[in-house]
Every structure is written in C-alpha cells, then in structure tokens.
Amino acid sequence: MADAEIMVQADGLVKIYKSKETEVLALQGLDLTVEKGELTAIIGNSGSGKTTFLNMIGGLDRPSAGKLFVDGRNLFTMTKNDLVRYKRETVGFVWQNNARNLLPDLSVLENIMFPMRLTNTSKKKDKALELLERVGLSSKKRSKMNMLSGGEQQRIAIAIALANSPKLLLADEPTGNVDRATADRIFDIFTELNNEGQTILIVTHDMTLSSKVRRVVAIRDGKISSERILRESYRERLKEADIDWLSENTQDEYAILDRAGRVQIPKEMLKNMKLSDNRVKIEQTGNKVLISSPDEMPEGAK
C-alpha cells in the first residue's frame, strides 16, 4: 500500500503510565493501518487501550515506544508548536462529554465559528451555516447551549470538530449519552461524511453502531485482537428499518496476527475448549490451522 493512501500507521505502539507505586502497560505493541477514506470503529473492554490509542492519534498523549504516523507526519518527532498546528489542522475531536467541545456563553453559530478564529478559513459564517445544515440544526443557530437537548449538543459538537476541515475525524463514544434515535442520526451524519471522503475513527461501546461499520477493530490487552468486516450484502442497507443490527450476523470476523506471528484467541472460545492449563494442540491441514485442547500429552509433559 502506498504511503499516500495511508492516514494512520501504528507499528509496535507502546504506552506505559508510571506512578511512584505502579506501572501500567496500556498498549503492548499495537499495530494498525487505517487508509484514507475509511470509517473505522474501535471496540474493546474498559482498560483495553482503545481511548489511549485515540488520544495518541489526536496528539493528546505521547507514545512510549513504537512508531505512529498520521497523514505522513511522525507524532514522535513533533515539537509543541507542531502539535498545536497538528491538532488545529489535521484532526477534529468529538468527545463523549460534549462540554469539552462547547462554550456555553456563545451561541451555536459562534461555537462553530470559534475554532476558525486562528485559521485562514474564508467566509467563516457561511461555512458555519453550512455545517449547521449538515447536522440538521440550522434553526438553532442563535440558541445557547443550555437551550439544546443532549443529542442536539452532540450534533453541534460534530459541526465544531469539522470547522477546520480536518483530514481525520476522531470520535470518543459519540453516541454514549444519547437515545437510540439520536444515535442513529449521528451515525447517519458520519456515514454521509465518509461517503464524501472523510476519514473517521470512532471508539464505541455501542453494539448497534459498530455492527453497521464497514471495519471494526477490537483491542484486547493493548493489542489488536480481531477485525470485523461488514458483509457486502449489508453495505447498501444501512437505513433499512427491518434489520435487527444486534441479532443479525452482519460482519465477518478475522483474528489478527501480530508481527511475531502471534494471534489472540477470544476468551469465549478458550472457555469452550475447557483447557486445564495454557497449552493447546496445533495441527496444519493444507492451508488450515486447527487449534484444539490436547487430547494426549507426551509422557512426562504433564
């Protein structure tokens, strides 16, 4: 894949948080490539490292080791001034807590125009009005934030994140605090943006949302453990009302080999294998590899 086609390239990414008493390994050699124009969801249990990874891509946290490039730029070598420009020009961030995006004393229109004040964006008001229309809230342009519902505030937060035309839009649990109808509307906005070429990374626990995304990356214990790819038969059916996105098998799942050839087996599968210890039997038949519980162990191995 040519570098010009890559938006995010993480190789062997490590993040260690240290205190006087403890050391926490949040990322343990994470590898991930995201192409330009992708809409990708990142999932994982609390503490798996997904928000840490998103914060690194957003320039909010520094990696401890490895390599991290966004749009060809090396985040390891950026100066403080480089990071300021990077966060202003390359990435837009939508937080679960939308208070981090919104200024309560300003009107909706002023909030969207605010990030443009330090850029060369022309016709700032026209662009802000265009973004308001994009998120379906043109009628709220003069409203203050306390006059909006939580879902409306989150849609305004998306407009603010888009104000400087970021190359990469990052969203941390964007549907975490809204009802299902609003969550579906937010996903529709992301889909429309992506169809126009916007690269989007979403961290989410929303299983309905993640079941609609073309590519879902699962992080487990600080590494990519698996990926799910939306089946072709569902790609043109995102707005169909008769699909139960939670119960239907909309995606194919793939385990991911790391650079050392290791693969993480899902906990549910390990539980069903009823292993007595950490040893498994591996056999190859043609191009298939079978991992099973040992039925017979060599003499002296037990």
Nearest one of 40, 55, 53, 60 to 14, comparing CA atoms: 53
Whether the Cβ atoms of residue 180 and residue 214 lie closer than 8 Å to each other: no
Whether the Cβ atoms of residue 186 and residue 180 lie closer than 8 Å to each other: no
Q: 3-233+249-272 falls under which CATH superfamily? A: P-loop containing nucleotide triphosphate hydrolases (3.40.50.300)
Model confidence, pTM: 0.87
Q: Residue 266's pLDDT is what?
A: 77
Report helix angle 124-134 to 150-161, nearest 10: 130
Q: Dump pLDDT digits (tens) for 212-243.
A: 999 999 998 888 989 999 999 898 888 887 88
Give the tokens for residue 56. 């690194």
Q: Residue 298's pLDDT is what?
A: 53
Separation of alpha carbons 96 and 111, rounded Å: 17
Q: Dump pLDDT digits (tens) for 256-301.
A: 887 778 888 877 788 888 888 888 888 888 888 888 888 655 555 5
Single-letter amino acid, residue 5: E
Sequence ranges of the chain with CATH classification 3.40.50.300: 3-233+249-272
Whether the Cβ atoms of residue 7 and residue 34 lie closer than 8 Å to each other: yes
Whether the Cβ atoms of residue 175 and residue 211 lie closer than 8 Å to each other: no
Q: Residue 257's pLDDT is what?
A: 83
What mean pLDDT, rounded, does the chain reach? 88
Give the chain's end-to-end CA distance (angstroms, integer). Answer: 47
Question: pLDDT tens digits, the chain, 302 residues: what are they?
Answer: 447 799 999 999 999 988 778 888 889 889 999 999 999 999 988 888 899 999 999 998 888 999 999 999 999 999 999 999 999 889 999 987 777 778 888 999 999 999 888 776 668 899 999 999 999 999 999 999 889 998 999 999 999 999 999 999 999 999 988 889 999 999 999 999 999 999 999 999 999 999 999 999 999 888 898 999 999 989 888 888 788 888 899 999 888 887 778 888 877 788 888 888 888 888 888 888 888 888 655 555 55
Nearest one of 202, 103, 209 to 148, comparing CA atoms: 103
